[in-house]
Amino acid sequence: MISNQIIKDILSESGYVKAISSEEEDDVVGCNPEGKYLVSFDPLDGSSNTDINSLIGTIFSIFHAPQWMEPNDPSAFLQPGTQMVAAGYVLYGPSTMLTLTTGRGTHIYTLDKTHGGFLLTKGNVQVPQDTSEFAINMSNQRHWEPAMQSYVADLLAGDTGPRGKNYNMRWVAAMVGDIHRLLCRGGLFAYPYDHRDPKKPGKLRLMYEANPMAFLMEQAGGMASSGDQRIMEIMPTDIHQRVPVIMGSANEVEACLGYHQQAQASE
């Protein structure tokens, strides 16, 4: 809540922002009626990791604000991810890093505390097309759809299974940490659909997590899907809408989606 308030105050005072939506706010918050942008954000992703001094971060996306909108009108935020003008995250780890895209590649910057600015440390990041790493919360396996269960079972079978190679599993329990690793060295990250609550088809929120990370991933040559469609083409129906997420190295995402397509064809 403290992180949310700090970010909300700074965006409101900037003059550039017409309204914000936050994972920690029930409704949108009006800022400057003359502002040109809408900002959606998860103020502290992986917040439970603060207790164990592990990775946490801030995720954000930026859209143009429609001229007709009132600052507190939530319908203005219901735009597909293809309309984003910028997205990124700040990772608070051994060093503070900003990963950003404005639609011209994905770039990583590192905070230089000597002058308080972010320096470009890795430009035009490219995610490897192939990988032998995946990140998923295995404790939910029994709740997944059969396609995802089959896919992960084949990964775990290693070089004796149909995929013909061994895989390692990594799980930070903060999306910013897992996605940062994928951008740096490839991999697949998934928080798939499960059957526990039909009203919540996924754990991650479209506007605050899935869309901005999908933009970064695609601009780095990766893929991002809900299992049924490209994440950035999903039309939001609610500012807190949840979606399944599968993203990362393009060839591995394609392989995972192949299991889903095969399951749909057999229905």
Annotated binding site: 23, 42, 44-48, 137, 203, 209
The number of C-alpha atoms within 13 Å of 185 and in the hemisphere containing its C-beta is 9
Residue 192 and residue 201: Cα distance in Å, rounded? Answer: 8
**For the sheet containing 245-248, what is the strand order?**
168-169, 133-135, 188-191, 245-248, 223-225
Identify residue 184 by its one-letter amino acid code: C
Amino acid at 257: L
Given a contact cutoff of 8 angstroms between Cβ atoms, the answer to whether 104 and 84 are in contact is no
The residue type of 238 is: D
Query: Bridge-partner residues for 118, per DSSP?
Result: 111
CA–CA gap between residue 102 and residue 226 (Å, rounded)? 22
Helix (H) or strand (E) run with residue 151 in it: helix 146-156
Residue 245 in tokens:
């997420």
d(CA 142, CA 168): 20
Enumerate the known binding-site residues for Mg(2+). Answer: 23, 42, 44-45, 209
Q: Angle at Cα 173 formed by Cα 172 and Cα 175, nearest 5°?
A: 90
Using the structure block, give the residue that is written with the tokens 């780890």: 93
- Residues in binding site for substrate: 45-48, 137, 203
